[in-house]
Amino acid sequence: MSDVTLQWLLPDGRGVGRAPDGATVRVDGGVPGDVVCTDQDPPRLVRPSPDRRTPPCPWSKRCGGCDLDVLTPGSRHRALAATVAHAFRHPHTPTVVPSPRAEGHRARIKLAIEGTAVGYRPRRSHALVAVQRCRIARPEVQDAHQRLIDWLQRVHPRGLGAVEIRSDGTRVAYAFTSSGSVPRATREALAQLEVVALDGRRIAGDPVLELRIEDQPLRVRPRSFYQVNLELNTLLVAHVRQALVDRGAEAVLDLYAGIGNLSVPLAAAGLPVVAVEAPGPGGEDLRDNAAAARARGLSIEAITQRVERLDPSRIPFDAVVLDPPRAGARGVLPRITRNRPRIVAYISCHAPSAARDLREIPDYELVSLTTFDLFVDTRHLEAVAILERRSRPRR
Note the pLDDT of residue 317: 98
CA angle 356, 267, 303 (to 5 degrees): 65
> Tell me, what's the pLDDT at 391?
82
User: Looking at the domain 108-210, which fold is it?
Assistant: OB fold (Dihydrolipoamide Acetyltransferase, E2P) (2.40.50)
State mean pLDDT over 356-372.
98
The answer, as to whether pTM is greater than 0.85, is: yes
6: amino acid identity, one letter: L
Domains 108-210 and 224-389 share a fold: no
Contact (CB, 8 A) for 362 and 394? yes
104 with 138: CB under 8 angstroms? yes
Residue type, 234: T
Average pLDDT rounded to a whole number, residues 172-191: 97
18-27, 47-56, 252-261 — which is least confidently predicted? 18-27
Tens of pLDDT, residue by residue over 83-126, are: 999 999 998 999 999 999 999 999 999 999 999 999 999 887 88
Question: Does residue 358 have a pLDDT over 90?
Answer: yes
Across-strand partners of 37? 3, 44
In this model, does residue 395 exceed pLDDT 80? no
**pLDDT for res 124:** 78
> Which pLDDT belongs to residue 183?
97
Mean pLDDT of 304-314: 95
Q: Is residue 238 a contact partner of residue 197, using CB atoms and an 8 Å limit?
A: no
Residue 393 has pLDDT above 70, yes or no: no
What SS3 state is found at 374? Answer: coil
The per-residue pLDDT for 39 is 85
The answer as to CATH 3.10.20 being correct for domain 1-52 is no
Mean pLDDT throughout 53-71?
90
Question: Which tens digit of pLDDT belongs to each residue from 2-37?
Answer: 899 999 999 989 999 999 888 999 999 999 999 999
Calculate the average pLDDT of the chain: 96
| Tens digits of residue pLDDT in 274-291 | 999 999 999 999 999 999
Question: For 224-389, CATH number?
Answer: 3.40.50.150
Mean pLDDT of all residues in 63-69: 90
What is the CA angle 110-111-116, rounded to 5? 155
Whether residue 43 is preceded by a cis peptide bond, meaning omega within 30 degrees of 0, is no
Amino acid making up residue 72:
T
Query: What confidence category does residue 349 fall into, taking pLDDT thresholds of 50, 70 and 90?
Result: very high
**Pairing mode, if any, of strands 252-255 and 319-322?**
parallel
Calculate mean pLDDT across residues 123-145: 93
Domain residue spans of the chain: 1-52, 108-210, 224-389
Arithmetic mean of pLDDT, 31-44: 91
CA angle 278, 274, 311 (to 5 degrees): 65
